Amino acid sequence: MLASLMAGPKHGYAMIGDVEAHTGKRLGPGTLYGIVARLETAGYIRPLEVEQRGRRPYRITPAGKRAYEERLDRLQRYGKALRALAAS
């Protein structure tokens, strides 16, 4: 979800589409909004005003950006370590 919101504010349906496009897996609304609730509680995302058709977009916070960048760095280091193991 944080990766999806790095591109800008989005509502749940758009985030579901991003996850599906990148992973091939479609999240159900219950799964999505459980994740959204945890991210909001952690201070990583913030809800915005409700848009047309009753959709509420979310925006990543500075803390969310830091958390995303830290996780991305860890994943990149892990991938580098795996490639080194495979090459040896």
Quote the tokens at residue 51: 């848009």
Tokens of residue 49, six digits: 């005003």
- The CA-based angle 54-55-60, given to 5 degrees, is 145
Report the predicted TM-score, pTM, of the whole model to 2 decimal places: 0.83
For domain 2-87, give the fold.
Answer: Arc Repressor Mutant, subunit A (1.10.10)
| Residue 86 scores a pLDDT above 80 | yes
- pLDDT of residue 42 exceeding 90, the answer is yes
- State the average pLDDT over residues 55-77: 96
User: Do residues 38 and 44 make contact, with C-beta atoms less than 8 angstroms apart?
Assistant: no
